Each structure stands twice: as C-alpha cells, then as structure tokens.
Structure 1
Amino acid sequence: MARFELAKAIHHIRYDALTAQQVLAIQLDLSSDTDEHHPYAAAICNKVVALLKTMGKLAEDYLSVVNVAMKVSLLPENNARTRYCDINETKQIIEAAINYHCRSNGAYIALLFLTGCRATELRLRVWDDINIVKGTLNIPRTKNGSSHIIYLSDYMIEIFQSIPRATGNPYIFAGHRHGKPIYQPSHAFKVIKEQA
C-alpha cells in the first residue's frame, strides 16, 4: 500500500488506459528533487515500478490487458552491502539489545540476529506461534508463501520467556497500541548499535 501511495499520479486511471509513459513519469518524478519531496533512492523507485509490473501481470492474466509497466526498465542500484558485522560485533549488538530498556524492542532486535528471520516475519508473530516445549517458532506464511519452522536454541527460548506479555495483545512483540505489534524499531536499533 505504501508503494502504491507513491504512484498517486495514476490512482484515477483504469489499468487498460494506462500507458508506459505514465509509468515512466512516476519513476522520473520519484527519482527527481521536487517541491513535494527529495529524490527517492533507486531501490524505492524500483519497488514502485516492480509493484506496477506485478499489478500489470495480474491484469494481463485475468483481464487480457497489456502490461505496459513491463516496458519501463528498472534503475541501476548501487547500494551493494560492502560491510558485514563480524562475530564479536554481532555478540555486542545482541548483548546491548538484551539490555535495552524496552524489553519488546530489545528482544526483537536480538532475535532478528539470532534467528535470521525477516523483520516482518518475526515482528508479526503471536504467542500461539511459539512452542516452548518443542523449542520451535512457527511462521505460517513466509515471503515466498510457504510455512516455515524455526528451531530455537535454549538462549533464544530464554529471550522469548523474558518478554513481558501484554494483556489483550496476542503479539509476542506487543506495541503501545492495543492489540498491535511494535513498529520497526529503527531508533532502538540506532541506540543499540551506539551502545554496542
């Protein structure tokens, strides 16, 4: 939904009336400095265009509408990761996360490093997804659409057990809003990295 919000120039256009030039105009607008926004990174622009290509594929499959978004090439991305945490840095981040004042945010960040889960897959887990006795965390639907079971170490189980349960909130990493999970804790991660 957030990606489609960035394509607001075509919100009122039927897909069978959409042109490749209009999709290209969205890409150019997002990558330019305008009165409304600074230029978006190439990766963000590509995600918007990729979404339109996917929508176009569905329109093509179900409605026999030409997928005009396929005519627009993605921008080159020069954001290759050049540095990774070594084992000692990872340990320091996990330790700082465990000691972070907000248990939900700290445990979430520590468990991201320990489990290797995608951020959303872990953030949206509910208490029913975890089996302490078997030492498993069930992810009913991953990004590729399949289910996945993560086998937990004793240390991971200890972290899960240290997270306080929020009354009336099914999420393991409960947010401040009633019945909702935490948001992506970017500020907490920044503080944790500085402490580490």
Structure 2
Amino acid sequence: MLKKFKFTDKAIKALPDNPRTSNSTELEVTDTVTQGLKCLVGKTGSKRFLFRYTYNGRKQSISLGRLGDINVAVARQIAQKHRVSLGEGVNPKAERDSTAHLTVNEFFTEHYLPSIKKRKKTWRDDQYRYDVMIAPRLGNLFYRDLRTIDVQQLHLALADQVNKYGTPYAPATCNQALMLMKSMTKYSVNLGVIDDDVCLPVKLFRLNNARTRFLNVYEVKRLLTACREYSNKTLAGYIAILALTGLRCGEVANIKVKDIDVSKRVIHIPITKNGKARSIYLTDAMLSFIAHIPLTADNPYLFAGKAKGKPLGSARKTFIKLLKKAQINPDGVCLHTLRHSAASNLVSAGVSLRLVQEQLQHKSILSTQRYAKLTTESMRKTSEKLSELFS
C-alpha cells in the first residue's frame, strides 16, 4: 500500500484498518499536497489527521481532528494555517493552547460572529438568539470545558422558558438555538479551539412542519377590507401587500421607494432569502394600497419605521387587531400565514405548482408542495371526480 499519495476524502475512507498484528498502534500515511499533513489509521478503523513539523530543531505534532468531524479540505486548511504560523516563528501548539481559556462568549464575539457577518445575511438573528438564549447559561464557560450534557440541558431548559411575549419558546425556536450552537462548535473544531464536537450527539426536537391553518379566499377578502378601513396606512399597506404577493415579511419591510416602478407596474426586490434579486408585478389592488402610504422625507423605505432611516418593525399587534376586525379567529395565525395562504389559495384555484414556486421563490418544488394544502372544497371535488369516473 502507498504510504504517500494525494489525499482525497474517497482515498482516506478507503484506507484499510491497521493490521492487528502490526507492532505500531496506528498506520501513518502522508499527503503529497500539503507538507506535514498525515492521516493515522487505527486497528479498529478510526482515522484522524495530524500535522507534523519541526520547531527550534525539535520534531513535534498537533492533532487536527477525526475524519467525519473534518474532511481532507479542512485538514489541509488547518495544516496550512499552522505552516503560516511556523513561517512567522510561532509554534502552532503554543498558539492552540492560547485558545484553551476562550469562553463561549469570547469565541462567539471574537471568532464566530465576525465570520458569519461576512457570509450570512441573517447574522443579526443569530446574534439575538445567542445573546438571549445561549449566553445566559453557557456564555461564561470555557469552550474546552463545554460538555454534551451542558448543551442538552440548554436545549431542554429553553422548552420551559418564556419569550418576550410571555409564551413558552416553540420547539422550532429551541431548535434554532441548538443549531446555532452546533454551527459554532463545528467551527471551533475546524479552528482547533476544541478537539471534539460535543454538540453532535444532541438531537433536535421533532417538529410537525405541516401547517393546517391558513386563510381562505373569503377571509383574505375580509382582511383586505379591514386594511382599507384602518387609520394607519403604513401598517395596513404592509399587511395587505403581504397578503397580495406571498412575499416574506423581511422582503416587504425592506422595499424602498426607489424599488417601485409604477410605469412598468413592478416592485424590484434586490435581495431575497435565497440571495437572488426578483421582481413582483403590481396589480391594481396593490397600487391602491401603495398610493395611500405616507412617505417620509428622510426615510428611503416604503414602509417607514419610527426610527430614522429604518424600515417598519413588528406589525404583529396590528395584524391581530385587523384579524379580529375581519372576524377571523387569530389562533394559530401569524404574519407568515399570509404567505402560506397565498400559495394554498393559488393551488386551490388551479394555478400550477411550478408557477406558485416562482411566485414564492422557493428553491425546491418540495417547499411549494408543503405550502399547497388542499381546501375542503377541493378535496370534495376530487372525491366527486373519482366517483364520476365509475358512474
């Protein structure tokens, strides 16, 4: 077997176990691409990456992580980082040991947050979840002292905790905090701050993502009537545009006046959740609401918030008020229900899933199918159609 070759994930996975009759505990193979990068294979098939180097005339090594926790690309990245440190006269071991006293708070603030700010549009959501849900329980722990049971207890405790509205955190919200911890911890392993991913064994709460509550056509009509009659035209227009387009709340809130082309009857959405620009075509109903929205001279947003230069914040209280005015039971209804309702009503009206997918800008048709819940009437018609085939 070759002891030196170009590492690939496939080649490393295919390495045979170190023979039980071997005098050495682990079989060592060397990467021909990154100097010093090794992979050690145990007699039980375990595989881990190692970086060997010489510092001040002494041979030393540093563990990079196990296969599965990291892959070849990450191992090369870490090894290359250590080579840069050596070039600057710094011992990689000393540099690694300096992170041993990083608290979870320090790691999030100094390493994780700067990283996601550059690659994640919703980094503020992660910062809020960390500050409110994670930091109070785990923030002051040294990351190297963090245990799986600590993460498990956080996840379970959040289920009994109340949010700012005085209601318990939903399972999905608890899962979002856990997923943030999982992402942070995986990143800390990749950076060599800790050796093992302690979050890996902790399981997410099982969710039922199928929404059964949506507004039918008649309820949406009554809601739009309530919006027309409401005194605050900014809030009413915001809720009406959500209902009439199926756009996400953030996409509507961030519409700027310059994004609207009345002559071409188009709203340009520069950035969606999927990271792509898109356009929504304006109907007469949409234009009638937009025409009544008061514009603010020092605010570029169509739906201007109270803070200078900022878009509208939460419209939750107004939405509940308008639902009641429209004689709609608000139980199980949130602003996102309007997006779900738009898809459901379009499908019930015979619009193809492909067109609904385009309207809602889902990456996958499976997401559209999840929203396309059938109404009682459409199910009745389907049953009648089936009976007609045999009559």
**Same fold, TM-score > 0.5, yes or no:** yes
Higher percent of residues as strand? 2
Q: How far 1:58 sits from its partner (Å)? A: 4.0
Q: How far 1:158 sits from its partner (Å)? A: 2.6
Residue in 2 that maps onto 1:40: 169
Q: Which has the larger radius of gyration?
A: 2
Residue in 1 that maps onto 2:37: none
**2:254 equivalent to 1:128:** no
Is contact 1:32–1:38 with CA below 8 Å preserved after alignment?
A: no
User: Which residue of 199, 207, 210 maps to 1:77?
Assistant: 207
Matches of 2:237 and 2:133, distance apart in 1: 33
Number of residue-to-residue matches in the alignment: 193
Q: How far 1:30 sits from its partner (Å)? A: 0.7
- Residues 130-181 of structure 1, C-alpha deviation per residue, up to 9 Å, x if partnerless? 2222222222221122222222212212322221101201111112222222
Q: How far 1:103 sits from its partner (Å)? A: 0.6
Matches of 2:200 and 2:179, distance apart in 1: 9
Pair 71,129 (structure 1): closer, same or farther in 2 beyond 3 Å: farther
Matches of 1:55 and 1:133, distance apart in 2: 47
Amino acid in the other structure paired with 1:120: G
Pair 39,155 (structure 1): closer, same or farther in 2 beyond 3 Å: closer
Matches of 2:211 and 2:281, distance apart in 1: 28
Pair 89,58 (structure 1): closer, same or farther in 2 beyond 3 Å: same
Matches of 1:90 and 1:46, distance apart in 2: 31
Matches of 1:186 and 1:76, distance apart in 2: 27
Normalization by structure 1: what TM-score?
0.86
Normalization by structure 2: what TM-score?
0.45
Q: Where in structure 2 are there 5+ consecutive unaligned residues?
A: 1-126, 327-391
More deviation in 150-159 or 85-94? 150-159
User: Which residue of 151, 161, 167 maps to 1:23?
Assistant: 151
Aligned-residue Cα RMSD (Å) equals 2.3
Is contact 1:138–1:148 with CA below 8 Å preserved after alignment?
A: yes
Q: How far 1:79 sits from its partner (Å)? A: 6.7
SS of 1:84 mapped into structure 2: coil
Q: Where in structure 1 are there 5+ consecutive unaligned residues?
A: none
Residue in 2 that maps onto 1:2: 128
Residue in 1 that maps onto 2:275: 145
Q: How far 1:15 sits from its partner (Å)? A: 4.9
SS of 1:149 mapped into structure 2: strand
Pair 179,32 (structure 1): closer, same or farther in 2 beyond 3 Å: same
SS of 1:71 mapped into structure 2: coil
Fraction of identical pairs, as percent: 34
Matches of 1:137 and 1:17, distance apart in 2: 51
User: Which residue of 167, 188, 192 maps to 2:318?
Assistant: 188
Residue in 1 that maps onto 2:220: 90
Residue in 2 that maps onto 1:107: 237
